[in-house]
């Protein structure tokens, strides 16, 4: 059984208190008291995250979508609130095992639905690759997303919901908004994909500039080895790995950080994921990239600028994973019933993890009002003057 050290971080501060009385124990007993099993750690977090409100919901369920079993979590403290469906990035970079680190406050204002897409995480583990393969295309996964939205609308008796697409999920989000604008209060794009080949060009140029400015000969050598990038031919996974490695190293994924370990390490603490589910993330990613890399690299929304629903874009000012420059230029061209752009000054691509407080504020101030205008949100707090 996997064991995790108690001094794991502030998220486990309450767990440390459990053994505060062990100071007088023998040294071996003291050392043993500093360890918890994975089940104990996830149990502490699950208890902390538990929704207890009488009109709330907390579910982890398997739903038949697109002919296969697909996993959802549904959490909210008041079912009168609007639904917010999150379309994770990747492909296959599921949010479900790390959502516990930032999503709890959202659940005061939205019923939040996390979905492990076809080929991702728990959904990958629940099906065979042969079962999933027929729908592993942008069109097929947009069909999955549409079926899921329809399921949520019918189950919770909502005419409309919010859809938030992050990174790869923003490709599905745009497709969904184009197909069914009448189903959405608004489409929210985070780390919006606009034109993937231009995106790769921008990210490569950023990494090369940083590497040269900092005198990193090893980085320059590796980046030059894949030049010209992206070039006229098909881009290989090996080339993308080099580009991503150095773009991430210089903060293009998470500003001020050289890698993603700060978030990936939280997966092992997730109450929603078993050890085998965590193991499935990498396997699902390889499977998904085999089917979706080439279609993803062909995505071009340069001329997809007319929307029948409101559009909100959250952009990290330092995002070079999906170019913040391309997203801002695209936003300027959008025609929609309403549009709103928020640029997060201290974020790159992972805005909800990098500036979680500001992310929440803008969800409440800039997104939620689209549902409030329709009368589809729980009453806000009442105030008394004494």
Q: Which domains does the chain carry?
A: 3-49 (no CATH), 57-196+261-372 (3.40.50.1820)
CB 333 within 8 A of CB 343: no
Q: C-alpha 149: how far from its chain's center?
A: 17
The 8-class DSSP code of residue 37 comes to E
Tokens 């991702």 belong to residue: 120
Please state whether 9 falls in left (phi above 0), alpha (psi between -120 and 50) or beta.
left
CB 77 within 8 A of CB 108: yes
> What are the tokens at 308?
């029948």
- Dump strand ranges (E) for the chain: 3-5, 35-37, 57-65, 68-76, 83-87, 111-116, 161-166, 184-190, 311-316, 339-344
How far apart are the C-alpha atoms of 348 and 82, rounded to whole Å?
Answer: 28
b/e map 28-46, b = 16+ CB within 10 Å: eeeeebeebebebbbebbe
Q: If we measure between CA atoms, which residue out of 139, 120, 138, 114 comes closest to residue 68?
A: 120
> What are the tokens at 26?
């023998």
Phi/psi of residue 105, nearest 5 degrees: -65, -30
Question: What pLDDT score does 32 carry?
Answer: 54
Question: What pLDDT score does 234 carry?
Answer: 87
Q: If we measure between CA atoms, which residue out of 292, 350, 296 comes closest to residue 118?
A: 292
CB 68 within 8 A of CB 118: yes
Reported as a single tens digit per residue, the pLDDT across 240-267 is 999 999 999 999 999 999 999 999 999 9
Reported as a single tens digit per residue, the pLDDT across 175-219 is 999 999 999 999 999 999 999 999 999 999 999 999 999 999 999
How far apart are the C-alpha atoms of 309 and 178, rounded to whole Å?
Answer: 9
How far apart are the C-alpha atoms of 163 and 188, rounded to whole Å?
Answer: 6
Q: If we measure between CA atoms, which residue out of 257, 252, 366 comes closest to residue 317?
A: 252
Q: How far apart are the first and last CA of the chain?
A: 56
Is the torsion defined by CA of 27, 33, 35, 37 positive or negative?
Answer: positive
Tokens 């009002």 belong to residue: 369
| pLDDT over 70 at 382, yes or no | no
pLDDT band per the 50, 70, 90 thresholds, residue 25: very low
Phi/psi of residue 61, nearest 5 degrees: -135, 160
pTM of the model: 0.90
Phi/psi of residue 329, nearest 5 degrees: -65, -40
CB 164 within 8 A of CB 85: yes
Q: What does the DSSP assignment read for 353-374?
A: HHSHHHHHHHIIIIITHHHHTT
How far apart are the C-alpha atoms of 139 and 118, rounded to whole Å?
Answer: 12
Reported as a single tens digit per residue, the pLDDT across 97-130 is 999 999 999 999 999 999 999 999 999 999 999 9
> What are the tokens at 171?
């490709």
| pLDDT over 60 at 8, yes or no | no
């Amino acid at each position: 059984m996997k064991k995790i050290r108690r001094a794991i971080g502030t998220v486990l501060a309450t767990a440390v208190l459990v053994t505060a009385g062990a100071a007088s124990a023998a040294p071996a007993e003291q050392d043993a008291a500093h360890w918890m099993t994975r089940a104990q750690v996830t149990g502490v977090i699950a208890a902390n995250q538990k929704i207890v409100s009488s009109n709330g919901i907390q579910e982890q369920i398997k739903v038949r979508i697109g002919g296969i079993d697909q996993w959802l979590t549904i959490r909210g403290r008041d079912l009168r609130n609007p639904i917010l469906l999150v379309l994770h990035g990747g492909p296959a970079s599921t949010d479900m095992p790390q959502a516990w680190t930032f999503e709890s406050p959202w659940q005061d204002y939205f019923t939040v639905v996390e979905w492990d897409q076809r080929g991702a995480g728990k959904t990958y583990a629940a099906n065979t690759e042969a079962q999933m393969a027929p729908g592993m295309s942008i069109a097929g996964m947009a069909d999955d997303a549409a079926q899921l939205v329809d399921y949520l609308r019918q189950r919770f008796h909502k005419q409309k919901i919010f859809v938030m697409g992050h990174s790869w999920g923003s490709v599905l989000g745009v497709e969904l908004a184009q197909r069914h604008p009448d189903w959405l209060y608004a489409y929210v794009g985070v780390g919006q994909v606009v034109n993937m080949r231009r995106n790769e060009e921008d990210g490569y140029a950023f990494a090369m500039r940083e590497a040269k400015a900092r005198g990193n000969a090893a980085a320059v050598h590796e980046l030059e080895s894949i030049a010209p990038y992206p070039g006229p031919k098909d881009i290989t996974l090996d080339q993308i790995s080099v580009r991503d490695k150095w773009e991430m190293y210089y903060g293009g994924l998470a500003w001020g950080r050289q890698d993603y370990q700060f978030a990936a390490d939280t997966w092992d603490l997730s109450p929603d994921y078993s050890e085998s589910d965590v193991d499935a993330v990498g396997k699902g990613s390889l499977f998904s990239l085999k089917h979706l890399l080439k279609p993803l690299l062909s995505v071009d929304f340069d001329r997809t600028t007319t929307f029948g629903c409101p559009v909100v874009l959250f952009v990290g000012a330092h995002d070079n994973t999906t170019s913040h420059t391309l997203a801002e230029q695209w936003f300027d061209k959008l025609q929609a019933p309403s549009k709103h752009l928020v640029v997060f000054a201290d974020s790159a691509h992972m805005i909800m993890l990098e500036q979680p407080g500001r992310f929440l504020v803008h969800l409440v101030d800039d997104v939620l009002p689209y549902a409030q205008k329709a009368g589809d949100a729980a009453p806000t707090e009442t105030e008394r003057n004494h």
